């Protein structure tokens, strides 16, 4: 029997990269999955078809989770399609690189609006609509939340905030049977990191005890564990999933 049979998951920012890997794994484990995307409609629909072709259940829903009204719509569409929601994976996020002098008010607002505000507001709705038996929120953080990256000061700050929110939300929501777990990837091969190339990845690989770049499936496996019954005694913790890398 699939571990997540009867469960319904929303994965934000799931059209590609880590989010797509998570959606694929949760569907393979038996969950019905809402593939959220902001702009990449074709990639989202391809992912949905891949899941359905494998015998799973999925629906693509467009929503910018930095906008409260669109978050409400996302959950409404999920409930309409699958009846309820009991897993939320807060994966949507952005990063911008540059030195201190290059940081602008707009770049700060963009990154905090999605990486922090959107996470809080999506979790707020999830806590309101989860069934009485509870549910699970997974926050995709980053190793940068613990060891910040020079040249990604704002992004690192948002992920530090995510780690703090994982703990504080777990403390509040535990009495309602809602677990909140953080997953912090290291360097992962995605569309976003492909521009680094093999040469750009080499310094990270050299500092990774397991000696390779991570794959979306590595992160997805950790998420699948966290939301399953096997992870049922874990809440308020952020698991470092980076092959031992410390950025």
All domains in the chain, ordered by first residue: 8-241 (3.40.50.720)
- Nearest Cα neighbor of 57 from 37, 76, 82 is 82
% of residues, the chain, pLDDT over 90: 86
Q: What is the C-alpha separation between 167 and 165, in angstroms, rounded?
A: 5
- Helices 153-173 & 105-112, crossing angle to 10 degrees? 30
- If one counts every other C-beta atom within 10 angstroms of the C-beta of residue 63, the result is 25
Question: What Cα–Cα distance (Å) separates residue 95 from each residue in 70, 108, 142, 212?
Answer: 21, 10, 11, 22
Helix (H/G/I), strand (E/B), else coil: 205? helix
Which one of the listed residues 130, 155, 204, 225 is annotated catalytic? Answer: 155
pTM: 0.95
Q: Which pLDDT tens digit goes with each residue over 49-90?
A: 999 999 999 999 999 999 999 999 999 999 999 999 999 999
Backbone dihedral angles phi then psi of residue 135, each to the nearest 5 degrees: 180, -170
For the chain, give the mean pLDDT. 95
* Structure token pair of residue 182: 């953080």
Active site residue 37: no
Place of tokens 């990269």: 17
Mean pLDDT of 208-229: 96
Residue 247: per-residue pLDDT? 64
- If one counts every other C-beta atom within 10 angstroms of the C-beta of residue 69, the result is 9
Residue 1: per-residue pLDDT? 54
Mean pLDDT of 34-50: 97
Contact between 12 and 33 under an 8 Å Cβ cutoff? The reply is no
- Nearest Cα neighbor of 149 from 198, 105, 111, 197 is 111
């Amino acid at each position: 029997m699939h571990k997540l049979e009867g469960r319904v998951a929303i994965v934000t920012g799931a059209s590609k990269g880590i989010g797509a890997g998570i959606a694929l794994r949760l569907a393979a484990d038996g969950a019905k999955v809402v593939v959220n995307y902001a702009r990449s409609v074709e990639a989202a629909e391809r992912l949905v078809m891949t899941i359905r072709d494998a015998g799973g259940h999925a629906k693509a829903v467009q929503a910018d989770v930095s906008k409260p009204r669109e978050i409400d719509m996302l959950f409404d569409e999920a409930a309409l399609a699958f009846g309820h929601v009991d897993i939320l994976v807060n994966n949507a996020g952005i990063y911008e690189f540059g030195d201190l002098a290059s940081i602008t008010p707009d770049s700060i607002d963009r990154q905090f609006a999605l990486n922090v505000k959107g996470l809080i507001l999506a979790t707020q709705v999830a806590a309101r609509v989860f069934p009485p038996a509870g549910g699970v929120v997974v926050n995709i953080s980053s190793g940068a939340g613990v060891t910040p990256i020079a040249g990604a000061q704002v992004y690192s700050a948002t992920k530090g905030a995510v780690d703090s929110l994982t703990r504080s939300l777990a403390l509040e929501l535990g009495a309602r049977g809602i677990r909140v777990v953080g997953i912090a990837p290291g360097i992962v091969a995605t569309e976003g990191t492909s521009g680094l190339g093999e040469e750009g990845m080499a310094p990270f690989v050299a500092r990774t005890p397991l000696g390779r770049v991570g794959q979306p499936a590595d992160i997805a496996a950790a998420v699948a564990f966290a939301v399953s019954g096997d992870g049922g005694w874990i809440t308020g913790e952020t698991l470092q999933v980076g092959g031992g890398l410390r950025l």
